[in-house]
Structures are given as structure tokens and as C-alpha cells.
Amino acid sequence: MITISTDKSAYPVNVMGATKFIAEKITLNANYSCVRFGNVANSRGSVIPVFIDSLLNNMPINISDPNVTRFGIPDAVKLVIKATRYEKGEIYLF
């Protein structure tokens, strides 16, 4: 079993982060693994649909940090599959 988590669980400041943090603790305590993601391009909550909407409506595109790294969904899937082969009871991330 692999729990899919988020970077928000590292230092939770809201309910979503706190529930992911708890889920990670339960998973690790059962000696299963977690995969923690942040900035997956075109996933739910991704900025890409916002950029497309801005472009289609001739609005400016706001970039909060040009040095941010984003990963693609295929990369995320590969990491989850790899995590099934790694040592259990760990958190894996890019």
C-alpha cells in the first residue's frame, strides 16, 4: 500500500495538511510507504488551467516564482510505482 500525500503535510498549517500528516503517520506506523508530491503540473489545483484561461481571455499571466519546479503526472505515476519496490515504512519524494 502506498499513501499519496502532499508537501503540505511536512509543516501543516490547515486541516488538509494536518489530515495528510496524520495519514502519513498511520501509514508509516503500519510499515507501508508514502509518496509526497508538490507542484504536479496539470493536476487538480494546478496553475496551468489558470494560465490557459488568462491566455484565452487576453489577461496577464502572473508568475509567483520563476524558479519553481513542476513535475508531470507521468513522473508522479512512475514514482508511485517505484515506491512499491523500495524499502517500506518510508516517505518518498522527487
Active site residues: 8
A 10 A CB-CB count for 21 gives: 17
> How many angstroms separate the Cα of 10 from the Cα of each of 17, 48, 72?
8, 24, 21
Spatial separation of the C-alpha atoms in residues 65 and 9, rounded to whole Å: 21
Contact 89, 33 (CB under 8 A): yes
